[in-house]
Amino acid sequence: MATASSSLTFSTSLPKFCRPYSISITPPPHVSVYFKKLSISSSLKISKRTTTRASSMASSGITTIDQNNKKVVEVFDTEEDLAVSLAKYTADLSDKFAKERGAFTVVVSGGSLIKSLRKLVEAPYVDSIDWSRWHVFWVDERVVPKDHPDSNYKLAFDGFLSKVPIPPGNVYAINDALSSEGAADDYETCLKHLVHTGVINISSLSGFPKFDLMLVGMGPDGHVASLFPGHPLLKENQKWVTHITDSPKPPPERITFTFPVINSSAYIALVVCGAGKASIVQTALGKSQNSEVFPVQMVSPEGELKWFLDKDAASKL
């Protein structure tokens, strides 16, 4: 496995606004993992919306497909099973885009999502994925120093990035020395540069950047990225990246992708675990009388949306 220098430096191959920090990588011990094949107890094709009963939906390995909306819902008996499937899904897309376009643009969120990516740093994926093709971005970030406990960069570095040989110049963190507004503008400028150089595709439908894969979680209030229920930023339709100074969840200052960017994605994996999120999942997937529209319900990519749910999160379906 590749290693990087131990010091924190800037890449000089990109303009100043787009220079990511290089990453110190300590190679982990080689781990051999035996993967348990998921038992699919049912496979349903649904023309309009998911109509599976709660008792069967909460079973391990259930897959439902909404062909009209390109939405797939998978339910796993445990978070461990979910993590195994998520790793294969990500690795397959990595191979697909690396072969098709020579690059794989991946957007991650914070929270528990990074933990669910842990199987990618184990065999067979850590050795089989072409990590040199990866370009990593954040769907949102807290405007704090990169070594701060609230930093999504730090979370991803500690749990994932430090364990795989992605080139340091392909990891795009925000400039945390700027204000939230400045950091958002700077990150958007970075994205526009990468569109110009062909690293990021542009959507022919929306004109917004088209990332290959977004790996995102959902908060217990139904928020995605740093787009919160009832917040004016839900309606932002011009900017690629915007800032928030009054986040209802601390820390208050953040940057976030807007919904036009999120929804221009080729693939989105929406990873949700835990009984505390079951009510929002129930509403989002059409199983509730709740009339409130949560931000997660606004996720509707040009390509495929795939829900990865553990049994607890799906318990009210």
Q: What is the mean pLDDT of residues 208-226?
A: 98
Q: Which residues are CB-contacts of 170 (< 8 A; sequence separation ≥ 6)? A: 20, 132, 134, 135, 136
pLDDT beyond 80 at 60: no
pLDDT beyond 50 at 47: no
Domain segments of the chain as ranges: 5-27+79-270+292-305
CATH class of 5-27+79-270+292-305: alpha beta
* pTM for the model: 0.83
Query: Binning pLDDT at 50, 70 and 90, where does residue 291 land?
Result: confident
**pLDDT in the model for residue 34:** 29
pLDDT beyond 80 at 145: yes
pLDDT beyond 90 at 53: no
Among all chains, which residue has been given the structure tokens 């885009």? Answer: 97
**pLDDT in the model for residue 254:** 98
Residue 8 and residue 6: Cα distance in Å, rounded?
A: 7
Query: Binning pLDDT at 50, 70 and 90, where does residue 289 land?
Result: confident
Percent of the chain exceeding pLDDT 90 equals 75
Instruction: Copy the structure tokens of residue 60.
Output: 């391990």
